[in-house]
Amino acid sequence: MEGKAGDAVRQAVLFTLGDQEYGLPVERVTSIIRYEQPTPVPHAPDYVEGVINLRGQIVPVVDLGHRLFSAPSERSSAARVIVTETATGLVGFAVDSAHEVARIPVSAVMQPPESMAASDLAEAFEGVADHEGRLVILLLPDKLVPSVGFTAADAAEEATVDV
């Protein structure tokens, strides 16, 4: 995709966590749904809220605020789950709000600051973009999922209770 003067353009679904805007690649987002309380899964990492049933598929839901900042997010009526295709399958990212699909020139994407490189989630930060005078942190969905390999199949198996 190209923008002004032949610049390559990428599209990102923009969302908020607290006062900060973030973006995920639009081609990886399968749907955005209203937040619903997930069913808890025993022994899941603390940032995995549980699972939801999305049109017959079990989808793990990651509290993205908790994943990035180690503090659980509070949910309002604007909260959404951004369902994203990852290498391990569908994963829902619970966010404060999702508000637009933005066209961002590739030339506007800057490398993340060195201070972010020290984080255990450093690989999840693709870059920082200036979008209409606002800084947007671009994230890579594959790097946001739990590294232990928590997948929808694992979640479904964990959620099944033997009687």
What CATH number does residue 73 fall under?
2.40.50.180
Number of structural domains found in the chain? 1
**Please, which pLDDT band fits residue 147 given cuts at 50, 70 and 90?**
low
Can you give the pLDDT at residue 55? 94
Confidence of residue 163 (pLDDT cuts 50, 70, 90): very low
Whether residue 106 is predicted with pLDDT greater than 50 in this model: the reply is yes
CA angle 125, 12, 27 (to 5 degrees): 100
The percentage of residues in the chain with a pLDDT greater than 70, rounded to a whole number, is 82
C-alpha distance from residue 32 to each of 28, 35, 68, 78, 95 (Å): 12, 9, 20, 12, 10
Rounded to an integer, the average pLDDT of 9-33 is: 96
Which pLDDT band holds residue 122 (cuts at 50, 70, 90)?
confident
* pLDDT value for 105: 93
Domain extent for 154: 4-159
Any idea of the CA torsion for 110, 130, 120, 14, to the nearest 10 degrees? Answer: -130
pLDDT of residue 118: 56
Task: Please tell me the chain's helix, strand, coil percentages from 3-state DSSP, rounded to the nearest 5.
Answer: 20, 45, 35
Q: Is the pLDDT of residue 162 over 60?
A: no
Predicted pLDDT of residue 20: 94
pLDDT at residue 146 above 70? Answer: no
Residue 152 reports pLDDT greater than 70: no
Maximum Cα–Cα distance across the chain: 64
User: What is the per-residue pLDDT for 5?
Assistant: 54
The Cα 89–Cα 70 span in angstroms is 24
List, in sequence order, every beta strand (DSSP E) within 5-133: 9-17, 20-25, 29-34, 48-54, 57-63, 80-86, 89-95, 97-105, 109-110, 125-131
